Chains A and B, each alone.
Chain A
Amino acid sequence: MFSSPKYSPMGDRALLVRFGDTIDLNINSKVHALCRAIEEAKVYGVEECVPAYASLLVYYNPLKTSYERLVFQLKDLEPRLEKIGAKMRGLKIVVPVVYGGKFGPDLHNVAKYHNLTEKEVIRIHSETEYAVFMIGFVEGFPYMSKVPGAIATPRLDTPRLKIPAGSVGIAGNQTGIYPCESPGGWQIIGRTPLTLFNPYAKQPALFKPGDHVKFKSITVKEFETISRKA
Chain B
Amino acid sequence: MELFRLVKPGLLTTVQDLGRFGFQKFGVPVSGAMDKYAFAAANVLLGNKVSDACLEITLVGPELEVLNEAQVAVAGADFSFMVNGDFASMWQMLNVKKGDAIAFSGSACSGCRAYLSIRGGIDVPLVLGSRSTYTRGGFGGYEGRRLKAGDVIRTFAPRQFLKTTRVMPRELIPDYEKEFFVNVTLGPQEDVFMAKGIETFLSSVYTVTSEADRMGYRLDGTPIERKSATEPLTDALTIGSVQVPGNGKPIVLMADAQTSGGYPKIATVATPDVSRLAQAKPNDKIYFNKISLTQAHTKYVEFIKMLNQLENRLIKQKV
Contact = CB atoms under 8 A, between A and B. Distances in A.
Contacts of A204: 23, 26, 28, 128
A47 B24 CA distance: 11
A139 B26 contact: yes
Nearest to B258: A137
A35 B26 CA distance: 13
Interface in A5-58: 8-14, 16, 18, 21-23, 35, 47-57
Contacts of A180: 136-138
B187 A10 contact: yes
Interface string B55-85: 0000000000000000000000000000000
B138 A205 contact: no
Nearest to B26: A205
A55 to B, nearest CB: 5
Given A12-B270, A138-B258, A139-B137, A49 B25 contact: yes
B35 to A, nearest CB: 17
A35 B22 CA distance: 13
A136 B260 contact: yes
Interface stretch (A61-69, A73-81, A220-228): A61-69
Contact of A9 (B185, B234, B235): B185
A10 B128 contact: no
Contacts of B270: 11-12
B188 A63 contact: no
A11 B271 contact: yes
A144 to B, nearest CB: 12
Nearest to B299: A12
A186 to B, nearest CB: 11
Contacts of A51: 25, 236
Interface residues of A, number: 47
A215 interface: no
A111 interface: no
Contacts of B299: 12
A13 B271 contact: yes
Contact of B136 (A138, A199, A205): A138
B301 A62 contact: yes
A8 B26 contact: no
A134 B271 contact: no
A137 B269 contact: no
B21 interface: yes
Which 6 A-B pairs rank lowest in CB-CB distance, beginning with the nearest?
Answer: A11-B268, A136-B260, A57-B236, A52-B235, A12-B296, A50-B236
Interface of A: 8-14, 16, 18, 21-23, 35, 47-57, 59, 62-63, 66-67, 134-141, 143, 179-182, 197, 199-200, 204-205
17 contacts: A9-B188, A10-B268, A11-B185, A12-B296, A14-B238, A21-B233, A48-B21, A50-B25, A52-B235, A54-B233, A62-B297, A137-B234, A138-B259, A139-B28, A139-B29, A141-B27, A205-B26
